[in-house]
Amino acid sequence: MLEWRAGGTNMAKLINYEEIVKKWKTFSTDMLLPSYTGIPTFFGIPSQKEVKDLDIALVGVPFDMGVTMRTGTRLGPREIRNQSRIVGVYNHHMRMTPFAELRVADVGDVPFQTTYNLEEAQHDIETFYGTLSSAGVLPITAGGDHSITFPILKAIAPKKKIGLVHFDTHCDTAQPFAGSGLHHACPFRNAVESGLVDPERAIQIGIRGGFELLWQFSYESKMRVVHIEEFYELGSKKVAQEIREMMGDEPVYISFDIDCLDPAFAPGTGTPAAGGMSTFEALQTLRGLRGLNIIGGDLVEVSPPFDLAGITALAGATIMFEILCLAAESPALARS
State which residue, 38 or 181, has the beta carbon closest to Mn ion: 181
Find the farthest-apart pair of alpha carbons in the chain and give their distance in angstroms, rounded.
Answer: 62
189 lies in the site for Mn ion, by CB under 5 A: no
The DSSP line for 152-217 is HHHHH--SSPEEEEEE-SS---PPPBTTBSSSTT-HHHHHHHTTSEEEEEEEEEEE-STTGGGGHH
Query: What's the min distance (Å) between Cβ of 30 and Mn ion?
Result: 32
Selected range binding Mn ion among 90-98, 207-215, 252-260, 272-280, rule: CB under 5 A: 252-260
Report the residue from 55, 257, 281, 307 that binds Mn ion according to the rule CB under 5 A. 257
Query: What's the min distance (Å) between Cβ of 114 and Mn ion?
Result: 23
State which residue, 257 or 281, has the beta carbon closest to Mn ion: 257
Selected range binding Mn ion among 65-73, 146-154, 243-251, 277-285, rule: CB under 5 A: 146-154
Applying CB under 5 A, what is the total number of residues that bind Mn ion? 4
Contacts of 204 (CB under 8 A, 6+ apart): 166, 168, 171, 188, 218, 223, 224, 225, 226
Report the residue from 30, 109, 168, 298 that binds Mn ion according to the rule CB under 5 A. 168
State which residue, 129 or 256, has the beta carbon closest to Mn ion: 256
Report the residue from 146, 154, 183, 208 that binds Mn ion according to the rule CB under 5 A. 146
State which residue, 144 or 310, has the beta carbon closest to Mn ion: 144
State which residue, 257 or 322, has the beta carbon closest to Mn ion: 257
Report the residue from 172, 281, 298, 322 that binds Mn ion according to the rule CB under 5 A. 172
Selected range binding Mn ion among 35-43, 49-57, 113-121, 249-257, rule: CB under 5 A: 249-257
State which residue, 101 or 172, has the beta carbon closest to Mn ion: 172
Selected range binding Mn ion among 125-133, 138-146, 204-212, 221-229, rule: CB under 5 A: 138-146
Least Cα distance to 215 among 150, 183, 170, 247 occurs for: 170
Give 89-95's long-range contacts (Cβ < 8 A, gap of 24+).
89/31, 89/43, 89/44, 91/321, 91/322, 91/325, 93/283, 93/287, 94/287, 94/290, 94/325, 94/329
The DSSP 8-state label assigned to residue 47 in this structure reads: B
Q: E strands of the chain, at which residues?
A: 56-61, 104-109, 138-143, 162-167, 197-207, 224-227, 251-257, 293-300
Q: Which residues bind Mn ion (CB under 5 A)?
A: 146, 168, 172, 257
